Structure 1
Amino acid sequence: MTVAVAMNSTPEGRAALLAGGAEAQFRGDDLVVLSVLDADEVSPADRDSVESQARELLGDTAFTTRVEPDGGDEAGAIVDLAAEVGATLVVIGSKRRSAVGKFLMGSTVQRVLLDCPVPVLVVKAEH
């Protein structure tokens, strides 16, 4: 069993990482940190950066990372990576957006919720 966390460097991404780490420990599951980057390729420096950010927040918690380019579809990349790692739960961070903001720019979180074949835990950052 695997808990997959969609992490980025925003407060919401950090909140998702902390919640996902706690959930994986509670369940006794493996933890996989997923990061999709808006890039054509992912460099070793990108992978190291994601790994160090996650290590900073998770401390001694065991985890693996998967860093991939988003291919222009961040939500699709998250769902695909979650399937590849065999996730039984996906954790993602969210921030409040107006209905007009969602209409104009879409919502990655909404797409993950609708497209992901496993349960999704959505967390908000504390403000």
Structure 2
Amino acid sequence: MSIVVGYVPTAEGAAALDRAIIEAQRNQSRLVIINSSRGDALVDKRYVPAEDLAAVTERLEREGVEHLVLQPVRGHDAANEVLDAAEKYRADLIVIGLRKRTPVGKLIMGSTAQQILLEASCPVLAVKAGT
């Protein structure tokens, strides 16, 4: 059994990671963490720096969670990276963080969460920060 979590260094990303760890411990599952970048910008605030990723890895090891951390930079959007990982690692669950967006923001930028929810072939657990 495996669980895929889309992780970005935000409150929503932290909430998703926290819940994914709980689910991985509960189900004795491997946790596959996806933190991706399209690679089309000099600085991508969603791409976790190595020292921060090391802290995440240390936490997972301390909590006894089998894990795999992936940081693909292949020109794909985050939703496709999460969906591809879920298929590749035969995920039983995907965990994502949600943030509030305006209707206009969704129209112009699309919604990573919406794409994952609609296209995933396994259950998706969507969590909000602070809940």
Is the TM-score greater than 0.5? yes
**1:88 equivalent in structure 2:** 92
Match of 2:62 among 60, 63, 73: 60
Residue 17 in 1 paired to residue 17 in 2? yes
Letter in 1 for 2:101: R
Q: Is the 8 A contact 1:32 1:66 kept in 2?
A: yes
1:102 aligns to what?
Answer: 106
Write the letter of the residue equivalent to 1:101.
Answer: G
1:12-43 CA distance string (max 9 Å, x none): 11110000000111112111111112316xxx
The one-letter code matched in structure 1 to 2:122 is V
Q: Residue 4 of structure 2 aligns to a residue in which SS?
A: strand
Whether the 8 Å contact between 1:35 and 1:66 is mirrored in structure 2 is: yes
How many correspondences in the alignment? 122
- Extract unaligned runs of 5+ from structure 2: 41-47
User: Structure 1 or 2: larger strand share?
Assistant: 1
Contact 1:16 1:123 in 2 (8 A): yes
For the 8 Å contact 2:37–2:76, the answer to whether it is kept is: no
1:51 equivalenced with 2:21 (yes/no): no
In structure 2, relative to structure 1, the CA distance for the partners of 1:101 and 1:122 (3 Å cut) is same
1:75 aligns with 2:82: no
Amino acid at match of 1:10: T
- Structure 1, unaligned stretches of length 5 or more? 41-45
SS of structure 1 residue aligned to 2:121: coil
Kindly indicate whether the alpha-carbon contact (under 8 Å) linking 1:35 and 1:50 is maintained by their aligned counterparts in 2: no
Deviation at 1:102, TM superposition (A): 0.8
In the alignment, the residues of structure 2 paired with residue 57 and residue 106 of structure 1 have an alpha-carbon distance, to the nearest angstrom, of 32
- TM-align CA RMSD: 2.2
Normalising by structure 2, what TM-score?
A: 0.81
For each residue in 1:24-81, what CA deviation from the matched residue of structure 2 results, as whole angstroms up to 9, or x when unmatched?
A: 11112111111112316xxxxx684463142365461322211112524221121112
Q: Distance in 2 between matches of 1:10 and 1:73?
A: 17
